[in-house]
Chains A and B, each alone.
Chain A
Amino acid sequence: MAGQFTASARTDDLPEAMAELAAEFHALQAKERLQLLLELANDLPDLPERYAGRLEQMEKVDECQSPVFLAVEVDADAARTVHIFLSAPPEAPTTRGFAGILHESLDGLGADDVLAVPEEAPYRFGLSEAVSPLRMRGMVGMLGRIKRQVRARTTIDERQ
């Protein structure tokens, strides 16, 4: 079963941290992949004070089956470093795990690197067979919204 999704296991077009995480998932059997996803769910950092308790200031990720909120900040440095803040309740560990994957993979990258992540990257972790493809769409939605926010925060000048 572990080899079933090798065709989609391409990682050379993913940012380094994401590629490493994808390889880590692929080295595991389906059941162990769920355990790793759970670890990532547990490791999702708490929101900083400026967002905690202020979910209305964040974007709701409607594609997820649980209340997930997202905020993206982009620094004014040369690389336009991206910071990602995600909140999902403990009773939604799968969604938290998806958020954990994206946080671990993308937080701290430059804006261009985040925007270059392929839309279908969520399917590169070999999770479809363990989680079901239907549920994977939540992570696709999260990634899409992260990229859209990065784009919005880096193209304001050009729009004016």
Chain B
Amino acid sequence: MTTQTDPQSKLAAYAHPERLVTTDWLAEHLGEDNLVVLESNEDVLLYDTGHIPGALKLDWHLDLNDQLSRDYVDGEQFARVMGERGIRRDTTVVIYGDKSNWWATYALWVMTLFGHEDVRILDGGRAKWVAEGREMTTDVRPVTPTDYPVIERDDTAIRAFRQEVLEHLGKPMVDVRSPGEFSGELLSMPDYPQEGAMRGGHIPGARSVPWGRAANEDGTFRTREELEAIYQQEQGLDPSDDVVAYCRIGERSSHTWFVLTHLLGFERVRNYDGSWTEWGNSVGAPVER
């Protein structure tokens, strides 16, 4: 990797510490060549109210999703999104965002579908940077566009489709939604009724581990020890397990996918992005309550 990693000790304990940076590290490295900082939020306007100096906006909905079919952008669209932000194939990309980095980890997961090698998360995200009183700006820096290569999206390694989940029944699965959604009491996430489903409950055999258990109050990730206590000791998952994670549309489960893959070193974790909005609406799909 071209840009040095953050040597901070909490990070060093994780399986892949090079996937995280601290606010201190970012403040020190801002403006360096071959480092691009992206902000990825749920709220499409939040970046425009002020962002980390030099950071560019990446919108999960408008930039990463195909606008017609329910799918991610293809290689050409992705190359345009990256190129417009001056990103090259070997650029170090640091992503941060609101809501404990939900949408930042989602963006990282999508970039991983295209095999972008060096992409990292700012531990604590936007909230921590703001809470520490660090500099914010509304100035958008000029970008020299790059010619990012057209890479074919690889949906086999870290993404699961409905049929694959059906075949996965009986193997480890993590439902990261709220307890009410898991039990079937709620047909959608609290406060998000527009993305509901015909049936409530969970995929048979899935364990309930709400995504937020992996985050501290300040939006940072829990330590490796704390994460192992949740996913390995309490839930009995093993880093060699073949695991599928899901939520409602695949964004909260990107957070858990990141935790299992990069912080705990699980070897095979797939995010089922169809998630409950597909499964709970899918005719004949088995449901457990």
Contact = CB atoms under 8 A, between A and B. Distances in A.
B28 interface: no
B13 to A, nearest CB: 31
Nearest to A41: B45
Interface string B35-73: 000000011111011000000000101100000000000
Contact of B43 (A66, A130, A134): A66
Interface residues of B, number: 15
Nearest to B249: A134
Interface in B8-53: 42-46, 48-49
Contact of A35 (B48, B59, B62, B192): B48
B49 A38 contact: yes
A137 B43 CA distance: 14
A62 to B, nearest CB: 6
Interface residues of A, number: 26
B194 A94 contact: no
Contacts of A65: 42-43, 191-192
Contact of B46 (A35, A63, A93, A132): A93
B98 interface: yes
A81 interface: no
B95 to A, nearest CB: 18
A67 B45 CA distance: 16
A62 B191 contact: yes
Contacts of B61: 132, 134-135
Nearest to A31: B48
A95 B193 CA distance: 16
A91 interface: yes
Contacts of B194: 63, 134, 137-138, 141
A93 B194 CA distance: 19
B191 A93 contact: no
B193 A34 contact: no
Nearest to A42: B49
B193 A93 contact: no
Contacts of B42: 65
Interface in A29-55: 34-35, 37-38, 41
A38 B43 contact: no
Most buried by A among B46, B59, B98: B46
Interface of A is mostly: helix
Contact of B45 (A38, A134, A137, A141): A38
A131 B44 contact: yes
A34 B45 contact: yes
Nearest to A138: B194
Give the most central of A37, A91, A134, A141: most B CB within 10 Å: A91
Contacts of A37: 45
A152 interface: no
A83 B83 CA distance: 48
Given A134-B61, A135-B61, A93 B192 contact: no
Nearest to B57: A34
A116 interface: no
A97 interface: yes
B278 to A, nearest CB: 15
A27 interface: no
Contacts of A132: 44, 59, 61-62
Contacts of B43: 65-66, 91-95
Enumerate the 5 nearest inter-chain pairs by beta-carbon distance, A residue then B residue, closest first. A93-B45, A132-B61, A94-B45, A137-B194, A94-B43
Interface of A: 34-35, 37-38, 41, 62-67, 90-95, 97, 130-132, 134-135, 137-138, 141
24 contacts: A34-B45, A35-B48, A37-B45, A38-B45, A62-B191, A63-B193, A64-B191, A65-B43, A65-B191, A66-B43, A91-B43, A91-B46, A92-B43, A92-B46, A93-B43, A93-B46, A93-B49, A94-B44, A94-B45, A94-B46, A131-B44, A132-B62, A135-B61, A138-B194
Given A64-B191, A91-B46, 14 more contacts: A34-B45, A37-B45, A63-B194, A65-B42, A65-B43, A91-B43, A91-B98, A93-B45, A93-B46, A93-B48, A94-B44, A97-B45, A131-B44, A135-B61
